[in-house]
Amino acid sequence: MLSPYLLLLLVPSPPLAAFLMLGLDPFFLRRRAVQVLALLGGVAPFFVMLPLAAVCFGGECHGVVPVFTLAFGQSEVALALLLDPMSTLVGLTVAAVGAMVITYAIDYMSDAGVADLRRFFALMNLFLAAMLTMVLAGDTITFFFGWELMGLCSFFLIAYNTGLPQAVAAGRKAFIITRFADAFLLAGLLLLFLEANSVRLDVLIPAGATMTEDRHLVIALLLLAGALGKSAQVPFHTWLPSAMAGPTPVSALLHSATMVAAGAFMLARFSPIVMSEPLVQAIAAAFGVGTAAFGALSAIFQTDVKRLLAYSSISQIGFMVLAVGLGAPEVAIGHFVVHAMFKSLLFLAAGDITHGSDLGTSMKAMRGAARRRPVAYVAYVAGAASLAGVPFITAGWWSKEAVLSAAWNTGPFGIAIWALAFLTAICTAVYAFRPVLEALLPEPEHRSRAPHGHPLALNLHHRARIGSGFITVPLVVLATGSMLGGVMVAPIISFLGAEVPHAPHLPALLAAMAPFAGLIGAAALTFVPSLAAAVEGAHDMRRPTRLDHKFQIWVIEPYIRLIRWLSRDRRPRDADLDFERQVRLIRWLSRGARMDGVYQALVVRPFVNLVRWLSGHRGGGVDPVGSAPVALALRLTQAVVGPLAHDRFDRFWMRSANRLVRIWVMARAIQTGRSRDYALGLALGTAALLVIAWGTTWN
Amino acid sequence: MGYDMELTALILLPFFGGIAALFAGRFGRDAERWVSIAALALALVILILAFLTPGDGRWIAFERFDWAPSLGMQVILAMDGLSGALLVVSLALGIVSVIVSWKITEHSGLLNAALLWTVAASNGVFLSFDLLVFAFFWELMLVPAFLLISVWGHGDREAAALKFLVFNAVAGLGLLAAVFYLGASGEVVTFDAFEVAERDIPHGVQVLLLLGFAAAFLVKLPVPPLHAWLPDAHTQAPTAGSILLAGLLLKTGAYGLFRFPPMLFPEGFATLAPWGMVLGAFGSIYGALLACGQTDAKRLVAYTSVAHMSIVLMGICGGVYFSLMGAGVEMVAHAFSASALFLLIGALYDRTGTRDLRELGGLQQSAPRFAAAFAVFFSAALAMPGTANFLGEALVITGMFQVNWIFASITLISLVVSVVYATRLFKRVVFGKARRSGVVEDLTAREMGPIVLLAIATLLFGMLPQLLMGALEGAVTAALAPVAGP
């Protein structure tokens, strides 16, 4: 009988087939056909995953399907797909989110030309196939194949608007930074292979746990570095906010369930190896919680909804990395599932609200959402509540509470981490609710002043209708998941074979208060003019018109005093300087701690200078190393041939010739032309001959 | 081992095909091209038949007969998986190069003859095990390649052709001198590589002789600092010439290095191999960095060849199973991917008259098939898993981890830099708006043929590694532990 696990092969196949058909395009497909193919490819994996999940939840959850086996040398490389609780859960999540996003994109991208549409959906399908392949991989080679293919697709997808230089630059940035991290992962995986002499995860992970000490540490660190890069954790985070230059469905797919979350999944997958090293575990926890806090703080000060959500992804994946670092990869997977739902929901809802707005995706474009796009707005509120972790009624609370409890239960060190994570949770609620509240403000004036007959106005009119089913269905499904998914968190964790961590009542109660504290903060940032102006002013450097008195006293004043105290500043107060300081902090945060600038100075600029110098743009010669032997050869030739150039033989012959000439000149003197000279010569010659004749007859 | 002539035919068919092509033009339009394709296709069929007949394990086919016995010259032709794979590459790229130069009418008989002779001579290199005959073919290769660059090239073609000739001819002298010494130093004069391999050559002499061999191989490879001829030759050569240079001539250098040093001078090779790895490591970064700085698309690809062939050198000098296997795979993979990139850039040049990255752009909008083809070989250039290039580089890195992790790390860095130049090429050519180049006509059916062929080869060997790795197994094991011939 055929094993049901053979279905695994079918999971990534539909999107791959859709990619091939759209990419090779043998039939010159029309718009409708493109959309149908894309939809089939995008939705089918979910329905293939369902029976597999049924088998898995039924208890028979350890299936390996060999793809093919490669024997070379003394090694045997067996490629396989693997069905276990982790791959089932994550695969199901990815398939579901992928299906929703592609469904949504059918309507969202309907303005694009056929050629662009085909390229877009081909790449989206390939991306989905790559992620599913990676999730279901049963060996490191298939795993890395999916991992890298995602990176490649992300380059093409982020740079989808090929005419926009910043989109292309963002694509390159994402690809180069993740590829840099991938080099670590590749090194780690190859070392694992050499160590265990197998690429199969089911062989390798137990073998990896029994390696020699230093090898083990190196491999664990390499894997961690790979995960941090892919997951846009500090200090690799800079590519993710830039990547928002891609279309919204791309952001929704790449930055919720796939791509960035892949790093967290990888850590969970290899957790037996990574987590048997206490040092690596501590590093992972530190990077995780640090990134979570940093991402949340930065998100608060964004003025663009998509960038806000980008920093939110950075922060939320920080929670997952933290959970792995705390030795609870099951909790990380739980948060992975929930985060995938609410983050894709937020992207999709925000995309729907701001679609076609002349304000782009800036926060102001959210205004009036409740009236224009009620479904999307409600969906956004649901997603934001889940992100903020409103207790009990949202899924986000359950998964985040599990992470917090895992931290609390890890001892005194864990309580410090819990405290930081708790503050992060408050910040999370602040930025989660900011767009929600912003949407309640009146729409900016010039929006309604767009003249009729203007293409933009037409577009707005077109978009103002209630969204089609392609948009509504994903929003409703994902919103339901984000709210009610909480009931799944505990079963997921126990299904993966771990206890659900429970914290004592006090920290749990405190954590439950965090969203409300955040809501107050968000309200302050939105409705208090001085603070709203400070956030806004950080971006366009305009002085606010009026500083609100109370917040000047209670929030800004203490901060200024703190700064003055820290910097030992005893000069008299200066209003401009104070404002400058306030703005500087916000700008520093809103630009991701300016890591871009740091990279620019430390990596990009030196690299470019080196390349320019090597290619002869900076005074140096072109290709100095290559031209060195040529120059050397020429110099040598000159040194050897130079002396020979005055050829000694030649000189001998020439000198001889000169001598001959001289003899000839002398001989010419005899030729006087006078007969008496010749007669004298004759006489002398005859006399000489006579003398010789006489001499010969001497005897 | 019968007295078959199939290997001889693999050399002579392209050679006489070339002579026929020289005169075929009189008998009909494009007759010289069809004659060339027929000769190469026939050779390919013979090659495939040779693959299908069972060999003796180590060799798929083996031929030996006297040529000039008084000089100790024999013709010893032997084909194992490595030679076989490279012969497939050579014949396939020969056909591709004939197809891409279809539109060139200037001296087209001589052009096709030059293409076929290049193929014939490199086939001779890949098959010969008599060192003198090997050296003969080695030098012979230069002549048609010189013609290709100097007659049909672009820009400053005479200077580029001369540079190519001088570099390679001078370096070839080292090989020739070492071969003469080897032939004359035994009791009987013989150039039979299998017999020479049996000899006990003192260590110091081995090192000296190996330096002579290596001079020729490293210049042909080429590895910095001996690469200066390559960017000029690649840039000024016609598209077909670039394809054969990147796909064949560079591989002869790698092949020679793979085959002879471990076989003839095992101890000397062990002494010099670390230096080879240092050169290779340096070259893999240096070539990649220079590729980032080029403005001429062809020069960019030329420098990526330097980087990739340096990785091959590192793999060969690594001397462990994985690195040797990786070097072999990378040789074949690079032959396909680099030629395809040259083909695409050549097609672009035919349309726009420029290869300047600052003037190109917008292919995505105007020529989607062109863009897709670029995307495939762009992925190959940056070693995306699933392409044969990744297989080769990953194997080399694995081997390097066994030898020395520093070299492995350097190879990984060059992989990262490869993303920088590849995305730069892609950004400038495919993305953005058409600058001076204007709207570009999409690839025609005749151009798509070779492209599809090369894409299939790249992906097939990447997805089903067993095809290539199984073929290379024998040669790799032989390079690990030198064994005598039959």
Consecutive 10-residue averages of pLDDT for chain B (486 residues): 74 93 86 93 92 80 84 86 93 94 88 94 94 92 93 89 91 93 85 87 91 93 89 91 93 94 90 93 93 90 94 93 93 94 92 86 84 91 91 93 92 93 91 73 86 92 86 86 45
Same-domain check for residues B138 and B12:
yes
Distance from CA of B32 to the nearest CA of A (A): 33
For position A216, what pLDDT does the model report?
86
Q: Which residues of B touch A615 (CB under 8 A)?
A: 290, 293-294
Q: Do B473 and A191 touch (CB under 8 A)?
A: no
* Start-to-end CA span in chain B (Å): 9
Q: Do B293 and A176 touch (CB under 8 A)?
A: no
Same-domain check for residues B250 and B280:
no
Select the residue of A175, A193, A614 nearest B290 (Cβ to Cβ): A614
Rounded to the nearest 5°, which phi and psi values hold at B131? -65, -35
Report the chain A residue with the minimal C-alpha distance to residue B320: A73
Domain that holds residue B249: 1-263
Same-domain check for residues B158 and B168:
yes
Question: Do the Cβ atoms of B91 and B335 come closer than 8 Å?
Answer: no
Distance from CA of B87 to the nearest CA of A (A): 22
Query: What are the domain boundaries of chain A?
Result: 4-442+457-526, 548-593, 619-645, 653-696
Report the chain A residue with the minimal C-alpha distance to residue B434: A163
Same-domain check for residues B16 and B4:
yes
- Residue B203 CB neighbour total at 10 angstroms: 13
How far CA B209 is from CA of A111, B97, B261, B432, B484, in Å, comes to 69, 36, 9, 53, 20
Same-domain check for residues B257 and B329:
no
Q: Which residues of B touch A166 (CB under 8 A)?
A: none
Q: Do B432 and A194 touch (CB under 8 A)?
A: no
Q: Which residues of A touch B231 (CB under 8 A)?
A: 623, 626
How far CA B83 is from CA of A377, B62, B258, B471, in Å, comes to 66, 12, 11, 9
Local structure of A200: helix, strand or coil: strand
How far CA A437 is from CA of A297, A522, B22, B473, in Å, comes to 18, 8, 81, 67
Which residue intervals of B294-356 are DSSP H helices? Answer: 297-318, 321-352
Q: Is the peptide bond before B222 cis (omega within 30 degrees of 0)?
A: yes
How far CA B27 is from CA of A408, B18, B273, in Å, comes to 89, 15, 54
Select the residue of A149, A155, A610 nearest B385 (Cβ to Cβ): A149
Distance CA A399, CA A390 (A): 11
Same-domain check for residues B398 and B275:
yes
Count of structural domains within chain B:
2
Q: Do A159 and B402 touch (CB under 8 A)?
A: no
Q: How many residue pairs bridge chain A and chain B with CB atoms within 8 Å of each other?
A: 123
Question: Do the Cβ atoms of A292 and A248 come closer than 8 Å?
Answer: no
Specify the DSSP element, H or E, that contains A66. Answer: strand A63-72
Q: Which residues of A touch B368 (CB under 8 A)?
A: 115, 119
Select the residue of B384, B416, B420 nearest A148 (Cβ to Cβ): B384
Same-domain check for residues B342 and B445:
yes
Instruction: Report residues of chain A scoring pLDDT below 50.
Output: 1, 447-465, 540-547
Q: Do B231 and A168 touch (CB under 8 A)?
A: no
Local structure of A367: helix, strand or coil: coil
Q: b/e for A549-558, b at 16 or more Cβ within 10 A?
A: eebeeebbee
Q: Which residues of B touch A113 (CB under 8 A)?
A: none
Q: Do A175 and B364 touch (CB under 8 A)?
A: no
pLDDT tens, residue by residue, A546-586: 445 556 666 667 777 787 777 777 777 766 676 677 677 77
Q: Which residues of A touch B372 (CB under 8 A)?
A: 23
For position A463, what pLDDT does the model report?
47
Q: Which residues of B touch A155 (CB under 8 A)?
A: 423
For the entire predicted model, the pTM comes to 0.88
Q: Is B402 exposed, middle or buried (0-12, 13-18, 19+ CB in 10 A)?
A: middle
Per-residue tokens: A507: 């920290």
Q: Do B431 and A159 touch (CB under 8 A)?
A: yes
Select the residue of A193, A614, A623 nearest B228 (Cβ to Cβ): A623
Select the residue of B231, B409, B469 nearest A72 (Cβ to Cβ): B469
Q: Which residues of A touch B292 (CB under 8 A)?
A: 607, 611
Q: Which residues of A touch B226 (CB under 8 A)?
A: 629
Q: Do B294 and A615 touch (CB under 8 A)?
A: yes
Same-domain check for residues B231 and B281:
no
Domain boundary (B199, B229, B263) is at B263
Report the chain B residue with the minimal C-alpha distance to residue A627: B228
User: Angle formed by the axes of helices A329-354 and A486-495, to 10°?
Assistant: 150
Q: Do A611 and B423 touch (CB under 8 A)?
A: no
Report the chain A residue with the minimal C-alpha distance to residue B300: A615
Distance CA A234, CA A294 (A): 8
pLDDT tens, residue by residue, A161-186: 888 888 999 999 999 999 999 999 99
